[in-house]
Amino acid sequence: MIKSVFRGMKTSDGAGVSLTRIIGSPDINMLDPFLLLDEFGSDNPNDYIGGFPPHPHRGFETITYMINGNFKHKDSVGNEGYLTDGGVQWMTAGRGVVHSEMPEQKEGLVRGFQLWLNLPKSKKMIDPYYNDIQAKEIPLVNIEGGVVKVICGEFRGVSGPGKPHTGVKYLDVQKEKKGTFSLPIEKLWNSFIYIYEGAIRSGLPIKKGSLGILDTSDAFECEVMEENTRFLMISGEPIGEPVARGGPFVMNTRAEIIQAFEDYQSGKLG
Ligand code: FE
């Protein structure tokens, strides 16, 4: 059941990319292990001309899911990736990368999500890694009146291609018809849904553009109130360690953040 509902906050990042910050805002700083969730989307070409020019990361993973449009990625050690509609880029920053991220419109549209997933202390300094997952590699599970895309974790015996370093379930639930939907979730994991089309009710009503934080029970049940409802259902095992944030770096202590800025300035992040 949903225990609280929040609206995302309009903001901008990168080279003036307008976006909605859903987690990582003044209302919800984080939901362990999730540090940030942004929705970027536009049908106006001028919103996206700048993209996200080169910037560093250390200490966590970014998971970018393109609903519409393309996404070009490049980093300072020569990795390049290109996603199209429905694809996911899973980037493990580990000890550090410097990369650029450029969403591109397709037929005037671009829409996607970026989720920041924390790494535990023991894995913050692992080697960086990229996993570009094309749409056709993401399994679809038919449900009554709809379909579930399994990006990570398991749903009705089908496992997604995402490979997190901690326990995570990441589903995109698409219901063309009204009706009920339920699934088991790991007890004591932190879970949320984000409605990006339509409306549902699970204890509380929630509609397009809102985040619902779930209780930590072992199941999620809802009633889909509108046709063509779509929502992300994301659940993660809490890490339970201190979190120190400094811009694009997320570590356990202030001293480690200062070290990350020093390493970036001296060219050690790639
Ligand atoms: Fe980035």
Residues 231-254: tens digit of each pLDDT = 999 999 999 999 999 999 999 999
pLDDT tens track for 22-39: 999 989 999 999 999 999
Does a structural domain hold residue 232?
yes
Using the mean position of ligand 1's atoms as its centre, give its distance from the Cα of residue 57 in Å: 7
Q: Are 30 and 189 in contact (CB under 8 A)?
A: no
Does a structural domain hold residue 215?
yes
Does a structural domain hold residue 128?
yes
Does a structural domain hold residue 56?
yes
The percentage of residues in the chain with a pLDDT greater than 70, rounded to a whole number, is: 97
Q: Given the DSSP bridges, would you call strands 154-155 and 146-152 parallel, antiparallel or unpaired? A: unpaired
| Average pLDDT, rounded, for the chain | 93
Question: What H or E segment, with its residue span, contains residue 260?
Answer: helix 254-265
Using the mean position of ligand 1's atoms as its centre, give its distance from the Cα of residue 213 in Å: 25
Using the mean position of ligand 1's atoms as its centre, give its distance from the Cα of residue 152 in Å: 20
Using the mean position of ligand 1's atoms as its centre, give its distance from the Cα of residue 75 in Å: 10
The CATH number of the domain holding residue 168 is 2.60.120.10
Q: Cis (ω within 30 of 0) for the bond into 33?
A: yes
User: Residues in the chain with pLDDT < 70?
Assistant: 43, 45-50
Does a structural domain hold residue 138?
yes
Using the mean position of ligand 1's atoms as its centre, give its distance from the Cα of residue 93 in Å: 9
Does a structural domain hold residue 270?
no
pLDDT, position 47? 62
Which of 118, 93, 92 lies closest to 35, judged by CA? 118
CB count in 10 Å sphere of residue 174: 18
Does a structural domain hold residue 57?
yes
Give the total number of structural domains in the chain.
1
pLDDT, position 121? 98
Using the mean position of ligand 1's atoms as its centre, give its distance from the Cα of residue 150 in Å: 23
Using the mean position of ligand 1's atoms as its centre, give its distance from the Cα of residue 55 in Å: 6
Q: Are 91 and 62 in contact (CB under 8 A)?
A: yes
Does a structural domain hold residue 86?
yes
Q: How far apart are alpha carbons 217 and 130 in whole angstroms?
A: 33
| Domain span holding position 165 | 2-265
